[in-house]
């Protein structure tokens, strides 16, 4: 077992109270955990992080966590994709260690999920919302989870009471998830501490706002990111051959809800159109009427304007931002509701509240939406924590932290020893005012595997230090790059692969690749200037290459 980190007196005594198995004395004082995670919530759209966009669409309830707790401005994921990120969260392991390298298949269910250890230590555990791992929720006394990506409107949930079936409920996903979270809190065994994970579907694609917010931000013009018109000039083919360009790849029908263009769709557009129609068919007639009252006049105006080129790209960006931020507004309400509940029940100050996302997301930077790349906006994720017994209000932490750190952190907050096999580290030593003198990691390892699939981001791994980033892009291009899972009939990866193939998703030619990129994040925070191979960077390149090699060796990384 790893040694407990240095903590303040309260945490030490909490740890001493519980030697980790069975119900212990002093339960009532052991901290509760409320872990809130959104799906694809960018730090750029949380006003506590201060971006110009977020100031136009503030998130007061999420910001309260920063004001009364700690904001981490260098929190990252290991593999910027939903299920892999969730597997890192549950196991404290890197993707190749927990098995979940790609979106659908993989999780190694023999690995310990941290909630199992919390249960053994006498915690009551619950999860509500998006689970997205291809195994039953493991280590939970209560679950109320969505099917796969879930739906925004009138979604179906599975719980211990539904006999393995997903049962449709009436309402909007974010509100229903909040309601079920409160049901768990109301119904829990109050003699035990709890760990509740609230995993929102929002603001995942295709960004369907709640009825009351359909018109929100209608007249707001969001600033266009500096890198929106990026031409990827200094970078390799991965940056230019992706399919996540707002201008080129964001779908007018499914993503931007211009149903009037349905008969102009390409094969891949028709595929996503089917997804939209599935979503829209769930709306009640009243919901559909409100939906149409918002989108139809807007669409009429757009079609009359007959936009093209840059003007159309800007229209897409603005309307993407509006729908995304409307979804965030509901999430912010949810955080407010949960905080109010904890306050009313007298639980607020004895609960560690975490707010984060399963990864970052592009809000038009580099011209993109989605995530996956090791470039900052996707690699970085928001992270806020409130726990007044150990975290000073309004504090900020710039240590390099990663989603493999969640399991160790939540275990150590609960006073449970962290298993040696977990790769992540508890963030507890960073909570206190002495965090700058804590010996902490000075680099992070990243690895993305999910190619060729949605958005066609090439496989890559890399390291990031305080100042530099080295990324290695590799692998066969196009269909030849398919992983064994993608070629194995009956798997979900295979179904996705075949669907994309049938909709002409894969370009006729995609080269096999094996190249590096190097960025100086201090001089070039937007990562526009790839320095790899440039004179003067030999020493730093060699240093980072050694670091990357060391990670690969120590972690036994096998590339395809
Ligand atoms: C869906 C989306 C993709 C998204 C993946 C993964 N397409 O496939 O845009 O990248 O999920 O997202 S959609 O047309 O079905 O919306 S993740 O958050 O689950 O990793
Ligand atoms: Ca996600």
For residue 345, the model assigns a pLDDT of: 98
251 CB within 6 A, ligand 1: no
Look at ligand 1, atom 14, and give the residue with the nearest C-alpha.
272
Q: Measured from the CA of 370, which atom of ligand 1 is nearest?
A: 10
Token reading at 442: 């000075």
Q: How confident is the model at residue 28 (pLDDT cuts 50, 70, 90)?
A: low
In whole angstroms, give the CA distance from residue 150 to residue 201: 7
* DSSP codes joined into one string, 256-314: T--GGGGGG--HHHHHHHHHHHHHHTTS-HHHHHHHHHHHHHHHHHHHHHT--HHHHHH
| Ligand 2: centre distance to CA 264 (Å) | 29
In this structure, which ligand is nearest to the CA of 199? Answer: 2
In whole angstroms, give the CA distance from residue 62 to residue 64: 5
Q: Which of 454, 455, 456 to mutate to test the pocket of ligand 1 (most atoms within 8 A of CB)?
A: 454
In whole angstroms, give the CA distance from residue 174 to residue 189: 25
Q: Is residue 490 classed exposed, middle or buried when 0-12, 13-18 and 19+ CB atoms within 10 A define those classes?
A: exposed
Q: Measured from the CA of 455, which atom of ligand 1 is nearest?
A: 10
Judged against a pLDDT cut of 90, whether residue 17 lies above it is answered with no
| Ligand 1: centre distance to CA 455 (Å) | 9
**Average pLDDT score, the chain:** 94
For residue 29, the model assigns a pLDDT of: 82
201 CB within 6 A, ligand 1: no
82 CB within 6 A, ligand 1: yes
Provide the residue count of the chain.
Answer: 560
431 CB within 6 A, ligand 1: no
In this structure, which ligand is nearest to the CA of 372? Answer: 1
Judged against a pLDDT cut of 90, whether residue 398 lies above it is answered with yes
Token reading at 383: 């992270």
Mean pLDDT of 368-389: 98
Judged against a pLDDT cut of 60, whether residue 347 lies above it is answered with yes
Judged against a pLDDT cut of 50, whether residue 95 lies above it is answered with yes
Mean pLDDT of 413-428: 98
In whole angstroms, give the CA distance from residue 314 to residue 470: 32
Which has more pLDDT, 503 or 19?
503
Q: Measured from the CA of 244, which atom of ligand 1 is nearest?
A: 9
pLDDT digits (tens, 9 = 90+) for 138-164: 999 999 999 999 999 999 999 999 998
Nearest to 137 by CA among 123, 125, 120, 149: 125
Judged against a pLDDT cut of 60, whether residue 21 lies above it is answered with no
Mean pLDDT of 116-129: 98
In this structure, which ligand is nearest to the CA of 81? Answer: 1
Residue 338, number of CB atoms within 10 A of its CB: 22
pTM score of the predicted model? 0.95
In whole angstroms, give the CA distance from residue 512 to residue 524: 28
Q: Which SS3 state, helix, strand or coil, does residue 167 take?
A: strand
Look at ligand 1, atom 16, and give the residue with the nearest C-alpha.
205
Judged against a pLDDT cut of 70, whether residue 31 lies above it is answered with yes
In this structure, which ligand is nearest to the CA of 103? Answer: 1
pLDDT digits (tens, 9 = 90+) for 176-210: 999 999 999 999 999 999 999 999 999 999 999 99
| Ligand 1: centre distance to CA 203 (Å) | 11
Mean pLDDT of 28-55: 96
Q: How confident is the model at residue 232 (pLDDT cuts 50, 70, 90)?
A: very high
For residue 273, the model assigns a pLDDT of: 86
| Ligand 2: centre distance to CA 365 (Å) | 17
Q: Report which DSSP code applies to 113.
A: P
| Ligand 1: centre distance to CA 466 (Å) | 30
In this structure, which ligand is nearest to the CA of 200? Answer: 2
Between the CA of residue 23 and those of 118, 194, 195, what are the distances in Å? 11, 12, 15
Q: Where are the beta strands (DSSP E) in 363-441?
A: 383-386, 395-397, 401-402
Q: Which SS3 state, helix, strand or coil, does residue 104 take?
A: coil
Between the CA of residue 179 and those of 128, 203, 257, 426, what are the distances in Å? 9, 18, 28, 30
Distant-in-sequence, close-in-space partners of 163: CB < 8 Å, separation ≥ 6: none
Look at ligand 1, atom 13, and give the residue with the nearest C-alpha.
205
Judged against a pLDDT cut of 50, whether residue 5 lies above it is answered with no
Look at 102-106, 115-119, 336-340, 423-427 and tell me which has the smallest mean pLDDT: 102-106
81 CB within 6 A, ligand 1: yes
What is the share, in percent, of the chain residues with pLDDT greater than 70? 95
In whole angstroms, give the CA distance from residue 46 to residue 134: 30
Ligand 2 ion: residues within 5 Å (CB): 39-40, 82, 358
Q: How confident is the model at residue 266 (pLDDT cuts 50, 70, 90)?
A: confident
The percent helix, strand, coil of the chain (3-state, each to 5) is: 40, 15, 45
Token reading at 497: 């692969």
């Amino acid at each position: 077992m790893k040694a407990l980190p240095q903590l303040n007196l309260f945490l030490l005594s909490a740890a001493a109270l519980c030697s980790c198995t069975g119900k212990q004395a002093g339960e009532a004082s052991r901290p509760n955990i409320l872990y809130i995670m959104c799906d694809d919530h960018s730090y750029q759209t949380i006003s506590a992080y201060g971006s110009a966009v977020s100031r136009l669409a503030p998130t007061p309830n999420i910001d309260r966590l920063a004001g009364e707790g700690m904001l981490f401005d260098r929190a990252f994921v290991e593999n910027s994709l939903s299920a892999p990120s969730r597997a890192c969260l549950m196991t404290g392991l890197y993707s190749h260690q927990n098995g979940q390298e790609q979106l659908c298949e993989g999780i190694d269910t023999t690995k310990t999920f941290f909630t199992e250890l919390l249960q053994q230590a006498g915690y009551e555990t619950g999860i509500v919302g998006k689970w997205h791992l291809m195994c039953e929720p493991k280590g939970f006394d209560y679950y109320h989870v969505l099917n796969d990506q879930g739906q925004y409107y009138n979604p179906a949930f599975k719980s211990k009471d539904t006999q393995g079936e997903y049962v449709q409920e009436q309402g909007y996903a974010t509100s229903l998830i909040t309601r079920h979270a409160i049901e768990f809190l109301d119904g829990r065994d109050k003699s035990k501490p709890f760990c509740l994970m609230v995993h929102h579907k929002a603001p995942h694609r295709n960004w369907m706002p709640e009825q009351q917010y359909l018109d929100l931000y209608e007249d707001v013009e969001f600033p266009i990111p500096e890198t929106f018109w990026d031409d990827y000039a200094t970078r390799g083919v991965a940056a230019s051959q992706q399919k996540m360009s707002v201008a080129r790849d964001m779908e007018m029908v499914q993503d931007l809800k211009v149903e009037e263009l349905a008969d102009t769709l390409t094969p891949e557009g028709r595929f996503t159109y089917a997804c939209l129609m599935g979503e829209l068919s769930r709306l009640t007639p009243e919901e559909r009427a409100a939906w149409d009252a918002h989108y139809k006049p807007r669409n009429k105006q757009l079609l009359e304007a007959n936009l093209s080129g840059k003007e159309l790209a800007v229209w897409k960006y603005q309307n993407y931002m509006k729908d995304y931020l409307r979804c965030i507004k509901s999430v912010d309400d949810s955080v407010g509701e949960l905080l109010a509940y904890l306050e009313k029940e007298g639980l607020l100050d004895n609960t560690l509240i975490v707010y984060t996302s399963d990864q970052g997301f592009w809000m038009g930077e580099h011209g993109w939406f989605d995530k996956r790349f090791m470039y900052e906006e996707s690699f970085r994720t928001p992270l806020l924590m409130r726990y007044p017994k150990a975290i000073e209000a309004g504090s900020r932490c710039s240590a390099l932290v990663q989603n493999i750190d969640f399991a160790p952190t939540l275990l150590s907050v609960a006073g449970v020893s962290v298993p040696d096999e977990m790769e992540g580290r508890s963030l507890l030593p960073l909570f206190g005012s002495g965090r700058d003198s804590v010996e902490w990691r000075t680099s992070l390892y990243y690895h993305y595997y999910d190619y060729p699939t949605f958005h066609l981001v090439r496989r890559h791994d890399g390291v990031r230090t305080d100042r530099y980033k080295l990324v290695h892009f590799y692998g066969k291009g196009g269909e030849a790059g398919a992983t064994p899972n993608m070629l194995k009939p009956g798997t979900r990866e295979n179904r996705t692969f075949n669907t994309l193939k049938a909709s002409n998703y894969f370009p006729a030619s995609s080269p096999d690749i094996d190249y590096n990129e190097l960025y100086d994040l201090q001089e070039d925070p937007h990562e526009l200037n790839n320095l790899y191979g440039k004179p003067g960077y030999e020493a730093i390149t060699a240093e980072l290459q050694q670091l990357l090699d060391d990670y690969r060796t120590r972690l036994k990384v096998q590339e395809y």
